[in-house]
């Protein structure tokens, strides 16, 4: 099984930095290519560009929780939550763990 994970294409986990505006402030976000692929898909499914989607998510997080300690980690967990939801994993179960 580890060969599946270890043998994956290095492009999947290569980091990529994208510059964008979050609530009017210019910033850069660095994620692995696999996460960017998911974020791009989420944005498209919402009818938004990726920067618009990320900015909207950032605004909503600020509204709900205030400033987040690590927004990049929140983006990664957003991707994982999206995949879990697609697989029918209970969000309540994941939150309780």
The enclosing domain of 42 has a CATH number of 1.10.3990.20
> Does the reported pTM lie above 0.95?
no
Q: What is the pLDDT of residue 53?
A: 97
Which of 67, 86, 78, 66 is CA-nearest to residue 31? 78
Instruction: Give pLDDT, residue 96.
Output: 55
Number of structural domains in the chain: 1
Residue-number span of the structural domain to which 52 is assigned:
2-96
Tens-level pLDDT at each residue, the chain (97 residues): 688 999 999 999 999 999 999 888 999 999 999 999 999 999 999 999 999 999 999 999 999 999 889 999 999 999 999 999 998 876 665 555 5
Look at residue 92 in the predicted model and tell me its pLDDT: 62
């Amino acid at each position: 099984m580890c060969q599946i994970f270890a043998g994956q294409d290095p492009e999947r986990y290569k980091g990529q930095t994208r510059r964008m505006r979050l609530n009017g402030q210019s910033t850069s976000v660095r994620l692995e290519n696999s996460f960017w692929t998911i974020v791009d898909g989420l944005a498209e499914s919402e009818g938004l560009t990726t920067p618009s989607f990320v900015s909207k998510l950032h605004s909503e997080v600020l509204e709900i929780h205030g400033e987040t300690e690590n927004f990049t980690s929140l983006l990664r967990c957003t991707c994982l939550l999206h995949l879990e939801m697609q697989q029918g994993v209970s969000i309540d179960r994941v939150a309780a763990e």
